[in-house]
Amino acid sequence: KAGVTQTPRYLIKTRGQQVTLSCSPISGHRSVSWYQQTPGQGLQFLFEYFSETQRNKGNFPGRFSGRQFSNSRSEMNVSTLELGDSALYLCASSWDGPTGELFFGEGSRLTVL
Amino acid sequence: AQSVAQPEDQVNVAEGNPLTVKCTYSVSGNPYLFWYVQYPNRGLQFLLKYITGDNLVKGSYGFEAEFNKSQTSFHLKKPSALVSDSALYFCAVRDYRQTGANNLFFGTGTRLTVIP
């Protein structure tokens, strides 16, 4: 059974550009969550999508957005990149409900120059 | 509001010795607790979870965790550490009743180093 797949794995952008990251969840999982990981802030929750609807959102500016498609695949977008957006962006999928664990992808490492 | 605290940034233990990585939590409803491990430049891997039932939970790679409701703790343990256990460990809580969502709130992580 395939795991969570994130693309691209690595990317370099310059300030002011925008970036789109993609996540394919485990087959059958309808919940997809996104996290930002940095050395200084640790793991911070960005947003969660379920059945194409954003169900919960973390404390990030509006430059960070996401969406989910009918096949549960998800994308997140960051516009007007800042140096501080350099991070590992992790996607996770799960079954719905409180008891299931999240399954994480390998992440997309974004470097903003 | 939910929160998780990992009071130790770094834990060092000799190979073969028992290890403990500490975690305390705060959540309004029933606690759903998780431990994850992260190796360099990789995603997080699930180790174990507490949902309900026995306070001692067994997980992957010989790890276990003890849920203590009175102390609001969920410490990760292993009887005999391996060098390959060296990694970053995260404790996490889900407050499903509060958020109705699946996302987890993570602690700041504890770096475990097992010394040969």
Write the DSSP string, A27-90: TT--EEEEEEEETTTEEEEEEEEETTEEEEE-S--TTEEEEE-TTS-EEEEE-S--GGG-EEEE
Whether A48 sits inside 8 A of B103 (CB atoms) is yes
- Residues B50-65, mean pLDDT to the nearest whole number: 94
Number of Cβ pairs < 8 A linking chain A and chain B: 69
Please tell me which residue, A56 or A17, carries the higher pLDDT value: A17
Q: Could you tell me the pLDDT band of residue B100, with boundaries at 50, 70 and 90?
A: confident
- Residues B59-81, mean pLDDT to the nearest whole number: 96
**A107 - beta bridge partners?**
none
Distances (CA, A) of B68 to A2, A96, B49, B77: 35, 26, 13, 13
Please tell me which residue, B47 or A96, carries the higher pLDDT value: B47
Angle at A66 between CA A27 and CA A93, to 5 degrees: 25
Q: How far apart are CA A32 and CA A30, in angstroms?
A: 7
pLDDT per residue over A66-82, tens digit each?
999 999 999 999 999 99
Six token digits for residue B83: 């060098």
Whether A100 sits inside 8 A of B103 (CB atoms) is no
Six token digits for residue B113: 């180093």
Confidence (pLDDT) at B98: 66
Strand B110-115 to strand B10-14: parallel, antiparallel, or no bridges (unpaired)? parallel
Q: Which residues of B touch A53 (CB under 8 A)?
A: none
Q: Could you tell me the pLDDT band of residue B108, with boundaries at 50, 70 and 90?
A: very high
Confidence (pLDDT) at A45: 93
Which stretches of chain A sit within 8 Å of chain B by CB?
Answer: 4, 31, 33, 35, 42-43, 45, 48, 50, 55-56, 90, 92, 94, 96-107, 109
Q: Which residues of A touch B96 (CB under 8 A)?
A: 97-98
